[in-house]
């Protein structure tokens, strides 16, 4: 689901993975002794376990197979598999069976949810001349998948039905400032059809803002300036969107809360559920959008509004008119989550996941992530057969109905929330895992250095350099953000952004308070959510040799193993504390600009004091854990420190949730109300400040202060446990 920037031959796993692989048992007391002179080089590991971990990770890295990943992706893309269909169920059953063949315990969890499908779709230009639009995507010679009649037509899930005829107004990207610009140009959107191009924010945000300003319908289109021929050759000559390509997608207001209950299906859009839109919406190709834009008049658009279609853009309204008729079908259907488990020695969980449902074939989104996750499972299964057991249980999850609004992962997280609070260490997400050669991602600040560590130790398959060095070369020319100076080694930390929304980490991180990350290897990608995101596209452009699928399996597997095997999880709360203080300074500046210069309007001094305490406790925890890891491991002490540290992220949740959208509970980061995908930092306070809702800003500031104080106390608990003598005295005291 996550939108990136312009970005059946299955061999038995046992035969491929076992092939003579044998090495000593590595679980429990049978772990090898450290090599002479071995040092605790790995974050979160004592010297004894660091040496063993390096050896087992080397064996893991040898296991992922490019040919097997290619065969997996070919199988996953054999047929369209939209959530709620038999094809999606068969995909889930295939994944369950593959996880079992790899040696993991795997089951399917089912949920009943409301899903939305197209019935009748009709769009016609009625003035100045009649022309049928909403034309289907054109087949590509040599790529038979693009002619598959089973593909669902382009539509916006959860659009209500409707029948409207109105003049058209062009609203650029549909951002708040774009709608304000229309007002300044004297253009009234009331009673009009808004023509809006994809990009810059989540499609549901565009619809909600158009709805707010009185539009009677929305037409979404992909402009060639953003992901078409203006960027490069369109498919099949290149990786970019052809003129008939259509971006399907849900327009559910997931930035308020994700999910749709079966009780809402009888009449979506009637106000029964606040996260459902109320005006009919349809995505179209730029080929069809050009047939409307060519006849729009009114003022010429600002230069930054001019897209890539070969016409001068005008804002309207009219004189072009369009007739849109939608008959949508909404109903309760069953979705299928696949949960595979590799049991560990303790009750803690390390989780990784990706969704398996796709709008059509989904080679990149989500098939690349699914193929990578299966390679991780097969490699871990091979280690298990060789005698290795992880210290912590590893869960590999394939979610359903992510494309409709994170439904499968949200349902599972809500069902298992208490278990996650007691057991979860971290969640790793891989949605669109492979598009090309550029590694990057987003993460909770406490996990960013772990991602960098693993990137340093993994080779880029084309250059032979470390993934980290290639990443650094690509980013070193970028301007240094305020407060982002060199690290202790003299290097500038490589950027990993904050987590917004748009993929399955959202429920784990922003609702349940589990430290999370989302990683990928990106590239040029213009076929997002279209029929052209198929196996042939991946084979021609995304990853022809499937070497980057192997690289992503190596990176993600190493991350999981570090989290699963460390004496304590390899968190870095020093970076977290620094980030909080930097963002708080920025929030202070924003509040003053918005009119809160008087502390009686908004006083953030209490939050500043809590942030300073959080930073102090992070330094104390880091020193105490470093000292603990210099000593021999002690299971009781390690468990006490682990539970305290895992509780830091949960402590940053607001019990009452954010104002106006209580499902989102994290005080550090949430999807922007007017962005949808991108993250807003310190969201409770910032959103209230930007609304000039000063009573809410005060409440949210107090909630943030309390969250930081709770997090600081968890760090204090961890430091105290780390300094405690080995043995029973180190029993964990913290109840999360």
Least Cα distance to 625 among 45, 73, 64, 224 occurs for: 45
Q: Is the pLDDT of residue 35 over 70?
A: no
What band does 484 get if pLDDT is binned at 50, 70 and 90? very low
* CATH number of the domain encompassing residue 173: 3.50.30.30
Q: Is the pLDDT of residue 261 over 90?
A: no
- 621 and 726 both lie in a single domain: yes
- Tell me the per-residue pLDDT of 412-431, one tens digit each, with 9 for 90 and over: 999 999 999 999 999 999 99
- 10 Å Cβ neighbour count for 666? 25
For the segment 533-552, the average pLDDT, to the nearest whole number, is: 98
Long-range contacts of the stretch 182-190 (C-beta < 8 A, 24+): 182/213, 182/315, 185/299, 185/315, 187/298, 187/299, 187/315, 187/316, 187/317, 188/214, 188/317, 189/213, 189/214, 189/215, 190/214, 190/215
Residue-wise DSSP of 231-257? TSPBTTTSSBPPTT----EE---TTT-
Final residue belonging to a domain, choices 533, 549, 565:
565
What band does 721 get if pLDDT is binned at 50, 70 and 90? very high
Residue-level pLDDT at 1: 64
What band does 489 get if pLDDT is binned at 50, 70 and 90? very low
- Asked if the structure places residue 159 within a domain, the reply is yes
Residue-level pLDDT at 432: 95
- 10 Å Cβ neighbour count for 112? 11
- 690 CB contacts (<8 Å, ≥6 apart)? 590, 594
Least Cα distance to 450 among 541, 379, 515, 365 occurs for: 515
Alpha carbons within 13 angstroms on the beta-carbon side of residue 573 total 33
- Tell me the per-residue pLDDT of 275-290, one tens digit each, with 9 for 90 and over: 999 999 999 999 999 9
- 101 and 133 both lie in a single domain: no
Q: What does the alpha-carbon distance between residue 573 and residue 695 come to, in Å, rounded to a whole number?
A: 31
Residue-level pLDDT at 13: 28
Ranges 400-404, 476-480, 491-495: which has the least confidence: 476-480
Both structure tokens of 490? 């003299």
- Asked if the structure places residue 178 within a domain, the reply is yes
Alpha carbon of residue 399 to chain centroid: 13
Q: How many domains does the chain have?
A: 3
Q: Where are the alpha helices (DSSP H) in 108-250?
A: 176-184, 203-212, 224-227
What band does 488 get if pLDDT is binned at 50, 70 and 90? very low
Both structure tokens of 501? 């929304």
- Tell me the per-residue pLDDT of 193-226, one tens digit each, with 9 for 90 and over: 999 999 999 999 999 999 999 999 999 999 999 9
- 77 and 121 both lie in a single domain: no
- 652 and 531 both lie in a single domain: no
Share of the chain above pLDDT 70, in %: 89
- Tell me the per-residue pLDDT of 339-370, one tens digit each, with 9 for 90 and over: 999 999 999 999 999 999 999 999 999 999 99
- Asked if the structure places residue 6 within a domain, the reply is no
* CATH number of the domain encompassing residue 345: 3.40.630.10
- 549 and 615 both lie in a single domain: no
Tell me which residue range forms the domain holding 675: 573-730
The DSSP code for 428 is E
What band does 494 get if pLDDT is binned at 50, 70 and 90? confident
* CATH number of the domain encompassing residue 597: 1.20.930.40
What band does 735 get if pLDDT is binned at 50, 70 and 90? very low
Residue-level pLDDT at 229: 97
Burial of 246 (0-12, 13-18, 19+ CB in 10 A): buried
Q: Is 449 a catalytic residue?
A: no
- 10 Å Cβ neighbour count for 473? 11
- 500 and 593 both lie in a single domain: no
- Asked if the structure places residue 700 within a domain, the reply is yes
Prediction pTM value: 0.92
Final residue belonging to a domain, choices 535, 565, 595:
565
- 557 and 517 both lie in a single domain: yes
Residue written as token pair 């998948």? 145
- Tell me the per-residue pLDDT of 582-613, one tens digit each, with 9 for 90 and over: 999 999 999 999 998 888 899 999 999 999 99
Both structure tokens of 102? 């790899």
The DSSP code for 6 is -
- Asked if the structure places residue 736 within a domain, the reply is no
- Tell me the per-residue pLDDT of 363-391, one tens digit each, with 9 for 90 and over: 999 999 999 999 999 999 999 999 999 99
- Tell me the per-residue pLDDT of 76-91, one tens digit each, with 9 for 90 and over: 999 999 999 999 999 9
Q: What does the alpha-carbon distance between residue 12 and residue 18 come to, in Å, rounded to a whole number?
A: 10
Residue-level pLDDT at 495: 86
Q: Is the pLDDT of residue 435 over 50?
A: yes
The DSSP code for 3 is P
- 290 and 150 both lie in a single domain: yes
Long-range contacts of the stretch 228-234 (C-beta < 8 A, 24+): 228/286, 228/308, 228/526, 229/308, 230/308, 231/6, 231/524, 231/526, 232/524, 232/526, 234/526
Cβ proximity of 109 and 339 under 8 Å: yes
- Which bin fits 729, alpha (ψ -120 to 50), beta or left (φ > 0)? alpha
Ranges 15-29, 54-68, 489-503: which has the least confidence: 15-29
What band does 263 get if pLDDT is binned at 50, 70 and 90? low
Cβ proximity of 17 and 381 under 8 Å: yes
Mean model confidence pLDDT for the chain: 91
Both structure tokens of 677? 């995908």
137, 247, 291, 402: the active-site residue: 402
Cβ proximity of 500 and 510 under 8 Å: no
Residue 659 has phi, psi (to 5 degrees) of: -60, 125
- Asked if the structure places residue 735 within a domain, the reply is no
Handedness of CA 585, 586, 591, 597 (dihedral sign): positive
Cβ proximity of 185 and 315 under 8 Å: yes
Strands (E), 457-514: none
Strands (E), 418-473: 424-429, 438-443
- 131 and 205 both lie in a single domain: yes
- 502 and 368 both lie in a single domain: yes
Tell me how far apart the terminal alpha carbons of the chain are, to the nearest angstrom: 32
Q: Is the pLDDT of residue 29 over 90?
A: no
β partners of residue 110: 336
Q: What does the alpha-carbon distance between residue 278 and residue 211 come to, in Å, rounded to a whole number?
A: 7
- Asked if the structure places residue 1 within a domain, the reply is no
- 326 and 343 both lie in a single domain: no
- Asked if the structure places residue 2 within a domain, the reply is no
Residue 687 has phi, psi (to 5 degrees) of: -60, -40
- 350 CB contacts (<8 Å, ≥6 apart)? 390, 392, 393, 394, 395, 425, 426, 428, 560, 563, 564
Least Cα distance to 53 among 71, 38, 68, 37 occurs for: 38
Alpha carbons within 13 angstroms on the beta-carbon side of residue 171 total 36
- 553 and 642 both lie in a single domain: no
Final residue belonging to a domain, choices 331, 352, 371:
331
Q: Is the pLDDT of residue 269 over 70?
A: no
Both structure tokens of 111? 């949920």
What band does 26 get if pLDDT is binned at 50, 70 and 90? very low
What band does 262 get if pLDDT is binned at 50, 70 and 90? low
């Amino acid at each position: 689901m996550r939108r990136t920037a312009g970005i059946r031959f299955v061999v038995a796993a046992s035969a491929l993975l076992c092939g003579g692989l044998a090495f000593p048992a590595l679980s429990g007391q049978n772990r090898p002794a450290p090599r002479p002179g071995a040092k605790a080089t790995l974050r979160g590991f004592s010297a004894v376990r660091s040496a063993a971990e390096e050896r087992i990770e080397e064996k893991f890295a040898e296991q992922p197979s490019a040919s097997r990943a290619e065969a997996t992706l070919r199988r996953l893309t054999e047929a369209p598999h939209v959530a709620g269909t038999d094809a999606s169920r068969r995909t889930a059953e295939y994944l369950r069976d593959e996880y079992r063949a790899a040696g993991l315990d795997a089951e399917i969890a089912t949920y009943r949810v409301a899903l939305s499908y197209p019935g009748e779709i009709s769009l016609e230009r009625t003035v100045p001349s009649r022309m049928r639009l909403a034309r289907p995507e054109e087949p590509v010679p040599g790529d038979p998948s693009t002619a598959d009649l089973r593909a669902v037509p382009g539509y916006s899930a959860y659009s209500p039905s409707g029948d409207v005829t109105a003049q058209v107004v062009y609203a650029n990207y549909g951002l708040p400032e774009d709608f304000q610009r229309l007002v300044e140009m004297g253009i009234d959107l009331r009673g009009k059809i808004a023509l809006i191009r994809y990009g810059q924010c989540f499609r549901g945000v565009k619809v909600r803002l158009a709805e707010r300003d009185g539009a009677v319908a929305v037409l979404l289109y992909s402009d060639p300036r953003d992901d078409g021929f203006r960027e490069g050759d369109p498919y099949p000559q290149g990786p970019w969107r052809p003129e008939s390509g259509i971006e399907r997608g849900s327009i559910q207001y997931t930035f308020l809360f994700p999910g749709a209950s079966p009780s809402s299906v009888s009449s979506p859009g009637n106000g029964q559920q606040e996260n459902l839109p109320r005006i009919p919406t349809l995505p179209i190709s730029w080929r069809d959008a050009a047939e409307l834009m060519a006849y729009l008049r009114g003022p010429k658009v600002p230069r930054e509004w001019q897209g890539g279609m070969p016409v001068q853009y005008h804002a309207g309204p009219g004189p072009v008119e369009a007739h849109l008729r939608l008959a949508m079908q909404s109903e309760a259907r069953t979705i299928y989550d696949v949960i595979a488990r590799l049991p560990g020695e303790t009750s803690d969980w390390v989780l990784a996941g990706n969704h398996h449902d796709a709008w059509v074939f989904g080679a990149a989104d989500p098939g690349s992530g699914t193929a990578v996750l299966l390679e991780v499972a097969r490699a871990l299964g091979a280690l298990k057969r060789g005698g290795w057991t992880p210290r912590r249980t590893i869960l590999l999850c394939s979610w359903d109905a992510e494309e409709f609004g994170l439904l499968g992962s949200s349902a599972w997280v809500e069902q298992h929330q208490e278990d996650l609070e007691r057991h979860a260490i971290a969640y790793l997400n891989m949605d669109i895992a492979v598009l090309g050669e550029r590694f990057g991602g987003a993460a909770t600040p406490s996990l960013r250095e772990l991602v960098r560590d693993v990137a340093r130790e993994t080779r880029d398959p084309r250059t032979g350099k470390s993934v980290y060095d290639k990443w650094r070369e690509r980013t070193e020319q970028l301007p240094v953000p305020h407060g982002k100076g060199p690290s202790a080694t003299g290097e500038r930390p490589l950027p990993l952004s904050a987590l917004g929304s748009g993929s399955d980490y959202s429920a784990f991180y922003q609702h349940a308070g589990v430290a999370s990350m989302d990683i990928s290897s990106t590239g040029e990608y213009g076929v997002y959510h279209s029929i052209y995101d198929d196996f042939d596209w991946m084979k021609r452009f995304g990853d022809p040799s499937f070497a980057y699928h192997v690289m992503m399996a190596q990176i993600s597997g190493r991350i999981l193993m570090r989290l699963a095997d460390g004496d304590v999880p390899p968190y870095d709360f020093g970076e977290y504390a620094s980030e909080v203080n930097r963002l708080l300074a920025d929030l202070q500046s924003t509040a003053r600009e918005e009119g809160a210069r008087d502390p009686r309007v908004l006083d953030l001094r209490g939050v500043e004091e809590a942030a300073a305490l959080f930073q102090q406790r992070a330094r104390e925890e880091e020193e105490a854990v470093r000292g603990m890891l210099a000593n021999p491991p002690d299971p009781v002490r390690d468990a006490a420190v682990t539970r305290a540290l895992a509780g830091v992220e949960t402590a940053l949740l607001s019990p009452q949730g954010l104002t106006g959208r209580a499902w989102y509970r994290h005080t550090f980061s949430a999807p922007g109300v007017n962005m949808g995908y991108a993250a807003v930092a310190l969201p409770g306070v910032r959103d209230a400040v930007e609304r000039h809702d000063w009573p809410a800003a005060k409440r949210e500031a107090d909630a943030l202060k309390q969250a930081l104080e709770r997090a600081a106390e968890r760090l204090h608990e961890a430091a105290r446990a780390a300094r405690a003598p080995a043995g029973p005295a180190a029993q964990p005291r913290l109840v999360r």
